[in-house]
Chains A and B, each alone.
Chain A
């Protein structure tokens, strides 16, 4: 499940996690059984784009458009997604 090629595969947010904005905490969160992870602004920008099936290239492309000033974006996204894959926040979509 958590083993797929991040560079080539399609993936999306693990349906076991609930992603949403929390007004009271002023941040996005990932909810799971009896727990919650507070997301940083950039983590939220990435996961936001994983709610539907997507690829790493697509996420990087969208973020480059949204934040043309940002430097080293591709690397940051890769690092975060690799971590998200480890934590099983994202899962492969078989097509």
Chain B
């Protein structure tokens, strides 16, 4: 059967390593952190991946992780990507970045750096990210601007820092950032594990959006602000990565190819690996990419829903996590028979922010990973 799709994977997200000096409690990486880096794709393997994806029509390339700066071959990969004709984005915590490195990466062909902040000041950034890196982030932000490389600042929002939006935007504005993303974290991986302490109240969200709008109004034309609300508060779900198998391809550090970063949580899915297959074959013919492409896989209420082309039934991973079946409607949808589960979760979040709660977050690090694994196996014994 020829299943060749007309969709082009315009975006290749290259997760170069799971290693990361930051310890965000909302990280969407798997809880089972592999402590070793020996299974990571080699430079040659990444170059092959980039070539194959480019042939398929991929044009935006994101280097991420973990922390992509951990890879010593990053510059080499950027040079290769540039010669292939990619627009290259680096998604980083900025730890490991220096002024010289910015220069070399720019000369190698890097187009855009996105620097993420965990908190809006030194103390909170350290508390929420587990590293003393705030001053360095500010310095690197200035340096990127000085070297005239496109810059985006990313502030990952949740219950423990939503009240800092004003402080963050004030800082971003004074640094001269042109593009700021305020993205509420998603609840996958570590984020799911910590959801109770990450999911904000409606009131926190309304406040943060109001502040955001004030800044938008005031600095129109100088600073673009993009606000991503947590989807638990909508009554319609978001499309999964612009539609499963339509636009995005993620290759993880060990070569597995995913339609979206979170897809690893779906049991019974086999992840094709670039070590065994050509990306073209994976994109067009793999069971994984075809499983939820389009609308044929749907069950009710999506199957006969007039809106099905709009959201394609939402996120498959969310459907699985909250309803136990990945072919169900995303329960964020008010038409889903499981929607009350989402309402139950959000109802519990309608308490005010309290500073002490931050201590309950479980940070992403190998020690905690081990601990969680031990707890899990105790449960299953």
Contacts and interface: CB of A to CB of B under 8 A. Distances in A.
Contacts of A23: 57
A31 interface: yes
Which of B59, B60, B87, B179 has the most A CB atoms < 10 Å from its CB? B87
Given A16-B150, A32-B87, A36-B10, A22 B59 contact: yes
A20 B114 CA distance: 23
B87 A25 contact: no
A24 B52 CA distance: 13
B57 A24 contact: yes
Nearest to A22: B59
A31 B60 contact: yes
Nearest to A36: B59
A71 interface: no
B85 interface: yes
A72 interface: no
B64 to A, nearest CB: 12
Contact of A33 (B56, B85, B112): B112
Interface string A17-60: 01010111100010111111000000000000000000000000
Interface in B77-118: 85, 87, 89, 111-112, 114
B70 interface: no
A16 B62 CA distance: 16
A18 B10 contact: no
B60 A35 contact: yes
Contacts, number: 41
A33 B150 contact: yes
Interface residues of B, number: 16
Nearest to A24: B57
A34 B60 contact: yes
B152 interface: yes
B372 interface: no
B179 A24 contact: no
B59 A31 contact: yes
A78 B62 CA distance: 36
A29 B60 CA distance: 12
A34 B112 contact: yes
Interface residues of A, number: 14
A18 B60 CA distance: 11
Contacts of B152: 33-34
Nearest to B60: A34
Contact of A25 (B57, B60, B114): B57
B8 interface: yes
Contacts of A29: 59
Nearest to A29: B59
Nearest to A16: B150
A14 B60 CA distance: 18
Nearest to B62: A34
Contacts of A22: 57, 59
A20 B57 contact: no
B115 to A, nearest CB: 13
A95 to B, nearest CB: 19
Contacts of B62: 34
A29 B152 CA distance: 22
Interface of A: 16, 18, 20, 22-25, 29, 31-36
Interface of B: 8, 10, 56-57, 59-60, 62, 85, 87, 89, 111-112, 114, 150, 152, 179
Nearest 8 A/B pairs, CB to CB? A24-B57, A31-B87, A33-B112, A33-B150, A24-B8, A18-B87, A16-B150, A20-B85
Given A34-B60, A34-B152, A36-B10, 11 more contacts: A16-B111, A20-B85, A22-B57, A23-B57, A24-B56, A24-B57, A33-B87, A33-B89, A33-B111, A34-B112, A36-B59
9 contacts: A16-B150, A23-B57, A29-B59, A33-B89, A33-B179, A35-B60, A36-B10, A36-B60, A36-B87
